[in-house]
Amino acid sequence: MYYSFIMLKPDALERQLVLEIIERLKTNDIAIEILDYRLVNKELIFKHYAHVINEMGEVFKEMAAKAFVGKYVIPMIISSRDENIIANVRKAIGATDPSKAALGTIRSDLGNDSMEKAKLEHRSCENLIHASDSYESYLTESELWFGRDISQKYT
């Protein structure tokens, strides 16, 4: 079995798209191993996006805090028999910018925001879902959100 990490972001929960997103993932032969419902604090989201904060600085840190802190997310460890799970999930989700995501992807079909609009409004783009971009990211993110003991069960 192969694993990855995804997180349904506050906008997915607020717009009541959780079940629809999960159903779309399941049609791509993705199974949910474990999920949680978490209230996000600064420490958690800053650790999750540490690499982006390092690249983009305080502006992104402030936007992440505004987008996540005090809101709920659904982190998940997911699985597939396909060793390309990470690439497959990212393809099913679509480009980070929902306005540029390919038709048929989660962000294209369900998204209602764009990077351009978010930039003009000085906020993070609401793009519904986060997915690990590498196996190393998966290991880091799954441990951050679920703890070492649970994370190690899915390696």
Instruction: Quote the CA–CA distance of 130 and 107 in Å, as a whole number.
Output: 11
Map tokens 């899915």 to a residue: 154
Check: CB of residue 4 under 8 Å from CB of residue 131.
Answer: yes
Instruction: Quote the CA–CA distance of 97 and 14 in Å, as a whole number.
Output: 19
**Chain length of the chain:** 155
Instruction: Quote the CA–CA distance of 52 and 55 in Å, as a whole number.
Output: 5
- Per the annotation, the verdict on 130 as an active-site residue is yes
Instruction: Quote the CA–CA distance of 78 and 80 in Å, as a whole number.
Output: 7
Among residues 48, 51, 122, 130, which one is catalytic? 130
Residue 94 structure tokens: 């679509």
Catalytically active residues are 130
